[in-house]
Structure 1
Amino acid sequence: MASLSSSSSRVLLTGFDPFGDTGHSSQPLNPSWLAVKALHGKRIGGHLVVAAQLPTVFQASMDELTRLIQLHKPALVVCVGQAGGRGAISLERIAINVNDARIPDNAGAQPVDTPVVAGGPAAYFSSLPIKAMLQALQGAGVAAEVSQTAGTFVCNHVFYALMHALATRRGFKRTRGGFVHVPYLPEQGAPSMPLDEIVRGLRLAVATALATPRDIARGAGAVS
């Protein structure tokens, strides 16, 4: 799914396979993957979108994300995950260097109070222009928020792994990245958001990130 023949600058979008928290749906669903898959092969801001699925498994997700970054050398990376209980697209601000799993991952691993990267910094901030993205989404009528926690499950694990890779691997100092949580689909329960609205929101978020070299100042505009 992630292989496209093009020399254009790329945007890498990742979503997860279904895992234990599937809500009320009888079918295994993960809106993060369905949404990024819908954007695969599209062009946004002159960039080709490459979508890839990550396993909901602690170490394997990090390994696959690292491989994808090295393969595609994207200008922008947005990892997307599902957040049951949230009713808006959540732009994550910070990734912390902690794995603390409430439930097992899809391989049965359930780490408690372990580091994502041994010896790594306590946290990384997103390098996406989250306030500008928030303003664009809300201005377009898409429910959105800035979130101060990505949890301590595989989503945060991937978010931290992404930012650590961009900060430490040669050739990626100018690559920006971050994490976005999306709500359940209606068939999974409430609160929820229709898939086409999630896709519209992600597309606008990516376009805004590509068009915004520096984030808007705190307090600018009508959002907080």
Structure 2
Amino acid sequence: MKRILVTGFEPFGEISTNCTELALRELTLADLAPDYQVEQLILPVDYAAAQAQLGDLYQQNSYAATLHFGQSGKAKNVEFEMFAINWKHVGAADPGPLDQTGPHAFRTNLEHPSWLDAMRSADLPGEISFHAGTYLCNAVYYWSLQQSADVSNPGQALFVHVPLAAEQGPMASPHWPVARIRTMMATTFTWLTNQVAD
């Protein structure tokens, strides 16, 4: 049975919750894909801890695809991240390359036009972004795309940035309701299973 890993993040910064955790904990994505073994994971907001946790999973398991969600205080709509770059800066004690010998960037092989179609069909505004920043979102994406290349399953990872949730309080602007974020996650997950079905 094919395996899919889906992740969100713990809270960080000045907001005491993370909308990806709020939404993902209320979803059982395995119900949407009985032919897959689905793992849902909330990652720590720490470079070393997140890399170690992902490294353990990748060492023990082979995934058909990985799907990562992260919140963005700047996003008005959900954002399909095209590239992960080999650089860490925000929140890093030692800014610089994520991997001294790794490529400058990885690109997902998952197709953004069909994802945008899926978003429109669910009445969800989606956009394409060309890299995921220089914080942990980008690092997690880079490590996942690197892993998928290492196991001859190149590009079978995706990172989606999510607007903050209204339930996160007055600092969450622009924002979506958590229920809408859950719908987006479920729609993206169903789209992903269709992409890797063959």
TM-score (norm 2): 0.88
1:183 corresponds to:
163
RMSD of equivalent CA atoms: 2.1
1:208 corresponds to:
191
1:21: how far off? 4.6
Counterpart amino acid of residue 89 in structure 1: V
1:100 corresponds to:
89
Aligned counterparts of 2:75 and 2:154: Cα–Cα separation in 1: 31
1:54 corresponds to:
43
Q: How does 1:160-171 map to 2 (within 5 A)?
A: 160-168=142-150, 170=151
Alignment check: 8 A CA contact 1:184 1:190 kept: yes
2:13 corresponds to:
20
Aligned counterparts of 2:32 and 2:62: Cα–Cα separation in 1: 17
Alignment check: 8 A CA contact 1:94 1:124 kept: yes
Distance 1:128 1:43, change over 3 A: farther
Identity, % of aligned pairs? 29
Q: How does 1:150-169 map to 2 (within 5 A)?
A: 150-168=132-150
TM-score (norm 1): 0.78
Distance 1:21 1:85, change over 3 A: farther
Alignment check: 8 A CA contact 2:87 2:134 kept: yes
Aligned residues: 193
1:196 corresponds to:
179
Alignment check: 8 A CA contact 1:41 1:48 kept: no
1:181: how far off? 0.8
Where does structure 1 lack aligned partners over 5 or more consecutive residues? 1-7, 23-27, 215-224
2:105 corresponds to:
123
Aligned counterparts of 2:29 and 2:128: Cα–Cα separation in 1: 28
Q: Name the one with the larger helix percent.
A: 2
Moved over 6 A (4+): none
Aligned counterparts of 2:127 and 2:14: Cα–Cα separation in 1: 22
Match of 1:146 among 122, 128, 144: 128
Superposed CA deviations along residues 119-170 of structure 1, whole A, max 9, x for unmatched, are: 10000001322221111112210121111121001110111011111111x4
Match of 2:94 among 111, 133, 137: 111
